[in-house]
Copies of this chain bind each other. A is one copy, B any other.
Amino acid sequence: MAQTAKKDEKQYQLYRDALNLFAEYGYKKTTVADVADRLGMTKGNIYFYVKNKKELYHRTIHWALTQWQDHVRSAVAGQTTAPDRFNAMAEAALGYIEGNKVFRRLLIRDPEIFTLDRDRDRFPEANRAARQIIRDILDQGIREGAFTVRDPEAATEYLFSIYMMFLIQTFVYLDKKDFRRIFASALALNLGGLSSPRPPKETSHDRCHVKGP
């Protein structure tokens, strides 16, 4: 049941315009009539595209999350080794929002878009895909011998939580003060751990490859 190209185009406009309005005024203060006005139609016609306001909101945000994820995936694809991909993923994921004012506003209006509570996750599909990006990099690293991970599933869950935590602290709570500095610490810790020894160089590649005692 393929949609018409025209409907696809209209839907794109709908999500884009709705996103801007929801980001500016929040869910409650944005009326269906506001969205219709912005698109040059009447509010009744919105219901030709979505079944109600709630669905409009949800689809709009899901669409925004999807765009963001595509950006991350292409950044990851631009690297080859697992550690490089890990860094690229982290940088792309956080950097994208850093540079996206509309998305940041949206998060302030609706801080629960990102949550650490799986039961209250309103975008489980998008977040499953996000976990998969992490998981793929871990698996590659293990396969190629660059990473040592005992329980990849648990590690993925843990890393995803840290990623959520960073998003929430930085873009919801606006604790940006030392964002980059703590982010760097987090990357170093996740790649190398607390434990010595490690040469005091950052570039994460040339590492001691001696087997344990």
Contacts and interface: CB of A to CB of B under 8 A. Distances in A.
Interface of A: 83, 86, 116-120, 138, 141, 145-151, 154-155, 157-159, 161-162, 165, 168-169, 172-173, 175, 178, 181-182, 184-186, 188-202, 204, 206-213
A88 to B, nearest CB: 15
B186 A213 contact: no
Contacts of A175: 117-119
Contacts of A173: 116-120
A197 B210 contact: yes
Contact of A212 (B189, B190, B202, B207): B207
A210 B210 contact: yes
Contact of A193 (B138, B193, B206, B210): B193
12 contacts: A116-B169, A138-B194, A147-B196, A148-B195, A151-B184, A157-B185, A158-B182, A190-B194, A191-B195, A197-B208, A198-B212, A199-B213
A212 B206 contact: yes
A146 B192 CA distance: 13
A76 B206 CA distance: 35
B181 A154 contact: yes
B182 A199 contact: no
A165 B161 contact: yes
Contacts of A86: 194
A209 B83 CA distance: 22
A83, A158, A210, A213, most chain B CB atoms within 10 A: A158
